[in-house]
Every structure is written in C-alpha cells, then in structure tokens.
A and B are shown apart, each in its own frame.
Chain A
Amino acid sequence: MNNDEMRCVITGLGMISAIGENVDECWKSAMASKSGIDHTKTVDTENCYSDYAAEVRGDKWDNIACTEKMDRVSKLCIKAVDEAMRDAKIEGFGGSERAGVIMGSCVGGVVSVEKYYTKEKSAELIPQMPISAIASQAAGYCGAGGAVMNVANACAAGTISISYAADLIRAGKADVVVAGGADSFSSVPFAGFTSLHALDANPCSPFNHLSGITLGEGAGALIVESYEHAVKRGAKIYCEVLGSGISSDAHHITAPRPDGEGQMNAIRWAIEGSGVSETDIDYVNAHGTGTAKNDEAEFLSLRTIFGGKNDHLSASSTKAMTGHCLGAAGAVEAVLAVKALTENTVPPTLGFSDDDLGLLAERAGSIDFCPNSPKKKELDTVMSNSFAFGGNNASIIFSKKTGSMKKPDKLPEICITGLGIVTPAGNGAQKYIESCADENAPGTADLCSSVGKDEYDELGLKMAFYRKLDRFSQLQAVSGMYALKDGNYTVNSDNATDIGIIVGTSEGSLSPVCDFEMLIAEKGNANGSAFKFPNTVYNAAGGYLSICSGIKGYNVTATNGAQSGLFSVGYGMNVIRLGRGKAVLATGTDENNEIIRGLYKDLGLAADTCVQPYSHNDKITLSDGSTSILLEDAETAEARGARIYARAKGFGTACRSVEFGKLTGSGEALDTAINNALADAGMSISDIDAVVGFADGHTVVDKIECDALRRVFGDKLAKLPVISVKKKLGEGRAASAALGAAHAALMLHGDIAEYGCTYLDDAEVHTGTVKSAALNNILAVAFGTGGSYSAVIISR
C-alpha cells in the first residue's frame, strides 16, 4: 500500500574521497579492497602518536570554475555535486524554488580558519570559515532557489541531510534536493582527535581492533527527487529513499550510550517509517568508526535489533577504506550503500587477520561483516547508519522496493507553548517582556548576553554539567531550558522521544574552532585540548541541551546565516507535520565575543557606536543571545492544558545565491519566501497585520527588506507596521531571527500590549506604535548572508 506522493528516489550520485575522485573510482577501489589511508604530509604531526589519514591526494580534481576562492570543503562539496548533477542529467535548476540543497558538515571551512590564524589575516577568508557557506555556495553552483541549509550534526550530518531532503519533498516543499555532506582534513580535527586519544596509531580497523579512528575527507552528493518529478523528466532511478530515524542520546557529549538506546531508536524509527521489517534489511553500511565505544555499542545495537529476526544480514564499515569523513561520512556511505544495492555487492570491512576472524565471529553473532573482501549478494533493501558527537544518531533506508511510507492523514495545527529568551537585556521571557517597556537604543554597539550561576540554579543545572559548556552552548542550554519551564513541559520517560530540538545558528561554534586553532598554532598539533575540542562541533549546544533536558527525539543543528534562527521554526513545523515528533524546541543562537567581534571588525561590519535599523549605515551593532520556541502539536498541547501563546501557521524559504558574505542581488528570494509562507498558511497579504522585519541599519540589508516588502505588499505597505527587535538589542543574527518570532507570539498573546514600529511607505520611514489587540497574523522574516531568506507566519 504505497502512496506515490510519498515516494522519493535517488537519481544521481557524486563522490570524492581518498579512494577515488568520482563514484566509479571509489566503487572500483572498494571492490578491490583498496584503502585510502596513508601517512599524512599535509598537517604537522610532530610528537603526535599517529600520522595516518585518508586524504584526497593530488589536486587535478580541483578545477571547477568559480570555486577558486572557496574553502577546500566547498570545493570538495561542489566536485561531488557537479558529478551528481551530471549523473542525474540536470544541467542546473535555473533558480527554481522547487530545488534545494541540504549539505552536512562537521568542521566546515576549517582550512580557511587555519590559514587566517597561521598565515595571513585576510578578510577574504572570513566568509569561507563557517559551515553556512557550503550549501549556499553549492546552491549557487547548481542554481537551486528553494530550501538551502547545512546540517551541522558532526558525524551524523551527511545522513541527516538526506533524511531531511526526503522530508522536504514529502512535505511538498521541494521536487528535487541535492543532499549530502562534505568535510576536509586539517589540523583542527587532527589535533582534536589526537587530544582525545581517539585516533588509531595504525590504520583504523572497525569492528576489529577498536583502537581508534583514522580521519578521512571528501564529499558525497545524492540527487533526491520526488518519484513524480523523476518520472516526468525521464530520469534514471537508482533506488527509493525510504524512511529514516533521527534521535538523541541525552547522555554524553562525545561518548555514545553504552546501552545503544539512541542508536536503536534511530534504527527502529527508520524501519517503522519505511513500512518494512527487520528481516527486509539485507545490508547495513554501519557507522563503524573503529573506536571501542562506538563499535561495541553498535555491535550491541545491530545484534539486538536484528538478532533472531534476520539471519541473512550483512554489515560493513567502509571507513577502513575512506577513513572517517566526519560530516561527509553519512553522504559518502549513502553513495556506497546505493552502489551496493544497485550492484548487488556488499563492500568489505578491511583489516582482519585470520586470528581476528575468530573474535569477529563471537562479537558479530549471525551478522556477516564481510571481512576483507566484497561479497556478491542479491540486495533489495539497505540501511546506512551514522552516529555523532553530541549523542546524535541517524539511520536511513534505501530500497529497490517502494516500501510503505504513510502520508499523514491531516496536517496538525502547531502551537507555540513556551519561550526561552536570553538577550543582552536579561534572561527569561518575563525579563524580555519587561524590557520591551523601554525601547531606547542601546548605549553601545557591542552587546552581549550574560548567563551564569543564577540561571543554572534556577533551572536546576548542576556544575558537573555546565562546567563543560562553551558560551555558545551555555546560551543555548539556558534558553532551551527556560522554554521548557515557561511551557510547563516536563520531559519524562513517556515523552522524551516525542520532543526534538532544532538549533538554528549562523556562526555556531566558529569561535571555539578559532580558539582551538589558535591553541594548536601556538603549541603544536600534539597539544590540543581534549576539554575544548568537543565544543568545536556546531551541534555540541544541541547535544548539551539534550543531555540537560532529557530530550531523546529528533535533534538537528541547522545553519545558513542569520535566517537559521527562523528557518529552525519552519524546520520544527515540518518535523511535527511529518509525525517525527509532537513537540520541538526551535531555536536561534549566536554569540558575540572577542573572536567573533574581531572577525566582524576585519570584515568592516562591526560598528563602534550604536547603529539603528533604517539609518543608512554600512556597519551593525553586534549582539548575541539565544531564543528557544517550544512548538507543539495542538492536540497534545490542549490535552495537557498548555498555555498557547500563538500558532505557527506557515513557513516559506528561498535562496538566490550570491557570493557568500554578500546579499546584494538576492532580494527577490525574500518575496518568494514570503509568498511561500502565505501559501503554506493558506493566507493572502490582506491577512497580515504586521511584520517583524530584519533591518539592522546596514543599507544593503535594510534596502532588501524594504524593497521586498514593497513588491509583495504593494500599497498595503504604507499602513503595515514593521516591528524591529534589533532596534534595542542589535544584530544577534540567528538569536534575533528567532526572537522576531517570539516577539510576534508575545504580542499576539497580549504580553506585549504595544510596541514601536516603522511604516516603510515610499522612500520615507515613519515611526509609530502598534497595539497588539489589533493584530491577528504577524509575518516574521529573516535574511542569511549568501542570499537565503525565511518567512514564518504567527497567528493568534
């Protein structure tokens, strides 16, 4: 019983890794049991106990026009995207809003970070540093104009990207999405894993010697397409994308749960969501990193799920060939899993001696781990698993069969039932409401939020927990816990897997990455900090929030510029609509500290004196904070008697990719995002009573907002109040984007009775006051550098 509307297929593949510069080369290497691991010569290995890596060697592949100034990670990504597009016989998307790019990464533009801190502090390198740049640049390359986002969930990012791509298509938000992941080998991950003693002194040996990982690098790209769209254009179809599961451990920031609970949740949800059973899975491309903690938990998970139910299961870890490609791992492994499926051949797990095979037999139960050599076998359905720092788990299923994906009967109504607000004006929703009484501009252009022991004590966070958190994670943990408290939502064993987290962030953990780079630049790669390294992954904040709240459901960190803080709300709505959870904490978090401010200064963007929206400036008031919005399925919220602030009615996003770090020329994508949000909500422009805008005083930003609103609202704009949360609190990027939605909810609920606003009629800007009693529907908009925009409609 399959519903064609729910069918997603793979129509193109691209891959680059240590074992090949394209899919054919990689597959041939895998079939020849060839490993790409060798001694590295690209990073300093002095005094390091291991010098192995699986690198993309040579530079013949690096010849794609327009990528010259990009970081190595984006070049790897675009190489794989280019191959996948050609394979799918798509020349380009021509800016279509029905085409998206979702890319995973762990360390992002870390090669640019290294150059900046060790060679030349060139401002040109700065936009290449954050993970945000990757999908935006790939979207520019292939002309995608729809949802463009990076999934920053460390080693699970590649798998989550493909899962989310399929979800976007199943939700009707896209016809085709380029999904995958990319990461490059460099000093930061090398020194980081060295400091954790997580590298194998020899080439890694997954499910065997368990003495650590070998880092790899590369990219994988898959063209994920609706079945209908693929058939219509006569595309070659590799296989179906069936269900997927995404979970969080709520356990530890680097170590997986020894009992495998989170891993097994992800695997079970993938199987259930596909409408297949355990016995239908013929092959698992396992995470199999080669560390004892991961592989022992994974042996346990696989044996528990499949033992007694599946006597023909094959599994393998291809990381003994490709190395651990971090955020690209799930993507390159998905490509290998799809190749395995279509070639009816299981790729091997390398590294077993005759003696090792005896121990493997004991550990593996009835599962065939295909030691050393590939194996011909009829495959109908395969699974790929990825598990990550932060306690994130992801599992996805590819099949020659259609499975039995169920379309939700009806779209649930989504309520906002809790708000957690951390701003430079104070912490907690109540403090924010009180602060709104004073709308005066801040006296400084350097605004920082502050969280500390008072908040930890109030929220019941213990020192053994919060001492580990970097400031970005602190802001996120506090705002997330405030949102749960404000929503009177108690996470317990009955609902822990029903609630998820979507962290939206522009720069994420960029400052811990820079801080770590400065440390190893000074002390050498052998002297990184094991304490600091885990906080360099962007999803650490979401992982910590899962640990302190007990949330075990969906958990994704989404990043693509400042708009990520509003995109997270739309992402969360999609999670609930597709039945992946009943509640989601959707957040926006970014920090302002010495490092971030230094980077904005070097870009010439950080003002020295306060800049106000619509002031025709070329700088901004840099700020920070975190806003968490508890979204909840209306039925669940009403059943528990929750206070309902407002309803999240519609979401739209679009991208017109321009050079990353710039915005000029991308404004029409904002029109598309707004129109998509209106369509999603079933509304027209006449339903919108006010807008929470994104103007921050920078002429380019402000003009894009004004021009787009003028095009979309026409004459109505003259009387449409435009509210700004940045007037008082500066440019907090993702924090401001999410705060815009929270502010709208607080006005609709009457907590903020009136607020200053701007009327953008003609070339003039007039100020006024808007009373909340007159408002029923508020549109919140946000921009992201590189040309991505989000729009959300919040209703009474």
Chain B
Amino acid sequence: MADSEIKAKVKELICSNLGVEPDVLDYDTELFGEDSIGLDSVDSLEIISFVDDEYGVDMTGVGKEHFLNIDSIAAYISEHKDN
C-alpha cells in the first residue's frame, strides 16, 4: 500500500472519529501539543487502536516523534507493517 493511501486513511480516521475538520488537517499538521490542532492522550489511544486494527502495527508505547503528524504516523506504519 502506498504511503499516500495510508495517510488518507489516517486522516479519514482523525476527521470522522475524532471530530477534526478536514480543512485544518494537512499531512504535516502538528497533532499534539501547544501549537497543534489539540489532540490528546485519549485521541492517541484511538489512533493506536485504529493502526493496530487496520495494519496490524502496534504503536503502544512508541515515541512521541512518531505521532508528530500524519506523515510520521504513516512512515511508522509503512516501516513496520508486514507486506
């Protein structure tokens, strides 16, 4: 699966399940922290659960740097999923 497809799916999750409006969310938009769109630890659980279900990749306990934005989440998925 191409990275672009993964990114589109992660974005779809964040918009449809976490209530983020699509027009404020680009693939490099910061997700967590002060200057971000304001996701928090509860949202990260939903993302982790989605990534596990969809790609069989466990992101539990994975470093913050992989949750910076959709780009970094997708990169982690690409690197760890079985092809």
**Stretch binding the partner chain, chosen from A528-536, A537-545, A572-580:** A528-536
Assess A531 versus B20: contact at CB under 8 Å? Given A195-B45, A197-B45, A462-B38: no
Knowing A195-B45, A196-B45, A197-B45, the reply to whether A531 touches B38 (Cβ < 8 A) is no
- Contacts A464-B37, A467-B18 given; does A531 touch B42 at CB 8 Å: yes
Which residues of chain B (29-60) have a CB below 8 Å from chain A?
37-38, 40-43, 45-46, 49, 53
Task: Select A529's contact among B38, B40, B41, B46, beta carbons within 8 Å.
Answer: B46
Are A529 and B20 in touch, CB under 8 angstroms? no
Contacts of B18 in A (CB 8 A): 467, 531
In the complex, how many angstroms separate the beta carbon of A255 from the nearest chain B beta carbon? 8
From known contacts A196-B42, A530-B42, infer whether A463 and B24 are also in contact, taking CB-CB under 8 Å: yes
User: What's the nearest-Cβ distance from chain A to residue B61, in Å?
Assistant: 11
**In the complex, are the beta carbons of B49 and A463 less than 8 A apart?**
no
Complex formed: what's the CA distance from A197 to B46 in Å? 11
Closest CB in chain A relative to B14 CB, distance in Å: 10
A531 and B37 contact, Cβ closer than 8 Å, known pairs A463-B24, A467-B20, A468-B19: no
CB pair A530–B49 under 8 Å, yes or no, is yes
Nearest residue (CB) in A for B46 is A531
| Complex CA–CA separation, A635 to B69 (angstroms) | 52
- A527 within 8 Å of B (CB atoms): yes
Closest-by-CB residue of B relative to A463 is B21
The chain A residue with its CB closest to the CB of B43 is: A531
Residues of A within 8 A of B4 (CB): none
CB-CB under 8 A from B19, the residues of chain A are: 463, 466-469
Q: Which residues in B have their C-beta under 8 angstroms from that of A196?
A: 42, 45
- CB-contacts of A449-471 with B (<8 A): 462-469
A255–B40 Cα gap in the complex (Å)? 11
Confirm or deny: A776 has a beta carbon within 8 angstroms of a beta carbon on chain B. no
Q: Is A404 an interface residue, CB under 8 A from the partner?
A: no
CB distance from B22 to the nearest CB of A (A): 11
Q: Which of A197, A464, A469, A530 contacts B38 (CB 8 A)?
A: A464
Binding site of B, secondary structure by majority: helix, strand, loop or mixed? helix
CA of A449 to CA of B54, assembled, Å: 36
Residues of B within 8 A of A252 (CB): 40
A254 CB within 8 Å of chain B: yes
Residues of B within 8 A of A466 (CB): 19
Q: How far is it, in angstroms, between the C-alpha of A255 and the C-alpha of B42 when the chains are bound?
A: 10
Taking A462-B38, A534-B42 as contacts, is the C-beta distance between A195 and B20 under 8 angstroms?
no
Q: Which residue of B lies closest to A469 (CB)?
A: B19
Output the least CB separation between B67 and chain A (Å): 15
Q: Provide the residues of chain B in CB contact with A255, threshold 8 Å.
A: 41
Q: What is the CB-to-nearest-CB distance from B48 to chain A, in angstroms, rounded to a whole number? A: 9
How long is the Cα–Cα vector from A609 to B41 in the complex, in angstroms? 46
**Nearest Cβ in chain A — how far from B25, in angstroms?**
10
* Chain A residues in 8 Å Cβ range of B45: 195-197, 530-531
Residue of B24, B45, B53 with most partner-chain A CB within 10 A: B45
A238–B56 Cα gap in the complex (Å)?
58
User: Which A residues from 185 to 217 make CB contacts under 8 A with B?
Assistant: 195-197
- Cα-based distance from A550 to B37 in the complex (angstroms): 20
In the bound complex, what is the Cα–Cα distance between A172 and B76 (angstroms)? 64
Are B20 and A254 in contact, CB atoms less than 8 angstroms apart?
no
Q: Which of A431-486 contact B (CB under 8 A)?
A: 462-469
A254-B37 CB under 8 A given contacts A467-B20, A529-B17:
no
Contact at A531–B24, with CB atoms within 8 Å? Answer: no
In the bound assembly, the distance between CA atoms of A531 and B42 in angstroms comes to: 6
CB contacts (< 8 Å) of B43 on chain A: these are 530-531
| CB of A573 to closest CB in B, whole Å | 36
Docked Cα-Cα span, A519 to B37, in Å, equals 27
Chain A nearest CB, measured from B2 CB (Å): 27
Kindly identify which residue among A465, A468, A469, A527 contacts B49, using a CB–CB cutoff of 8 Å.
A527
CA distance A195 to B44 in the complex (A): 11
Given contacts A195-B49, A527-B49, contact A463 B20 (CB under 8 A): yes
Expressed in whole angstroms, the Cα–Cα distance for A196 and B49 within the complex equals: 11
A contact residues around B42 at 8 Å (CB): 196, 254, 530-531, 534
* Interface hits, A536-587 → B, CB 8 Å: none
CA distance A466 to B37 in the complex (A): 12
CA distance A469 to B37 in the complex (A): 16
Which of chain A's residues has its CB closest to B25's CB?
A463
Cβ-defined partner of B46 (8 Å) among A462, A464, A467, A530: A530
When C-beta atoms are compared, the residue in chain B nearest to A253 turns out to be B42
> Cβ of B21: which chain A residues have Cβ within 8 Å of it?
463, 467
Residues in B whose Cβ lies below 8 Å from that of A467: 18-21, 38
Given known A195-B49, A529-B46, A530-B46, contact A463–B17 (CB-CB < 8 A): no
Give min CB distance, B9 to chain A, whole Å.
17
In the bound complex, residues from chain B placing their C-beta under 8 Å from that of A534 are: 42
CB-CB under 8 A from A195, the residues of chain B are: 45, 49
Kindly state the separation between the CA atoms of A509 and B49 in the bound complex, as whole angstroms: 24
Contacts of A527 in B (CB 8 A): 49, 53
State in angstroms the CA–CA spacing of A254 and B42 once bound together.
9
Shortest distance between the CB of B16 and any CB in chain A (Å) = 11
Q: How far is the CB of B59 from chain A (nearest CB, A)?
A: 13
Nearest chain A CB to B81 CB, angstrom units: 20
Complex formed: what's the CA distance from A465 to B43 in Å? 13
CA distance A252 to B41 in the complex (A): 11
Q: How far is the CA of A755 from the CA of B20 in the complex (A)?
A: 43
Residue of B nearest to A468 (CB): B19
Instruction: Report the nearest B residue to A533, measured CB to CB.
Output: B42
Residues of B within 8 A of A462 (CB): 38
Query: When A468-B19, A529-B17, A531-B18 are in contact, do A463 and B46 touch as well, CB less than 8 Å?
Result: no
CA distance A8 to B10 in the complex (A): 57
CB distance from B38 to the nearest CB of A (A): 3
How many Å from the CB of B15 to the closest CB on chain A? 9
CA distance A379 to B20 in the complex (A): 53
Bound-state CA distance A462–B20 (Å) is 11
> Which residues on B sit within 8 Å (CB–CB) of A469?
19
Q: Which residue of chain B has its CB nearest to the CB of A531?
A: B46
Please measure, in the bound complex, the distance between the C-alpha atom of A468 and the C-alpha atom of B41, giving whole angstroms: 13
- A212-229 contact mask (Cβ, 8 Å, vs B): 1 or 0: 000000000000000000
Bound Cα distance A531, B14 (Å): 11
Roughly how many angstroms separate A667 CA and B19 CA in the complex, as a whole number?
45
Q: A166 to B4: give the CA distance in the assembly, Å.
A: 61
Interface-centre pick from B24, B37, B42, B45 (highest chain A CB count, 10 A):
B42
- Which one of A467, A527, A529 has the greatest number of beta carbons of chain B within 10 Å? A467
**In the complex, which residues of chain A have a beta carbon less than 8 angstroms from the beta carbon of B17?**
529, 531
Residues of A within 8 A of B40 (CB): 252
- Which residues of B are found within 8 Å of A465, using beta-carbon distances? 38
**A529 CA to B18 CA, complexed, in Å:** 11
Bound-state Cα–Cα, A534 to B18, Å: 13
Q: Which residue of B lies closest to A195 (CB)?
A: B45
CA distance A530 to B46 in the complex (A): 6
Interface string of A229-254 (1 = CB under 8 A from B): 00000000000000000000000101
Bound CA span A170–B2, Å: 68
In angstroms, Cα B24 to Cα A132, docked, is: 40
Given contacts A466-B19, A467-B19, A531-B46, could you give 6 more A-B pairs where the C-beta distance is less than 8 Å?
A: A196-B45, A254-B42, A462-B38, A463-B19, A530-B43, A530-B49
B contacts, CB < 8 Å to A = 17-21, 24, 37-38, 40-43, 45-46, 49, 53
A-B contacts, 29 of them at CB < 8 A, read A195-B45, A195-B49, A252-B40, A254-B42, A255-B41, A462-B38, A463-B19, A463-B21, A463-B24, A464-B37, A464-B38, A465-B38, A466-B19, A467-B18, A467-B19, A467-B20, A469-B19, A527-B49, A529-B17, A530-B42, A530-B43, A530-B45, A530-B49, A531-B17, A531-B18, A531-B42, A531-B45, A531-B46, A534-B42
The 7 lowest CB-CB distance pairs between A and B, nearest first, are: A464-B38, A467-B19, A530-B45, A531-B46, A530-B42, A530-B46, A467-B20
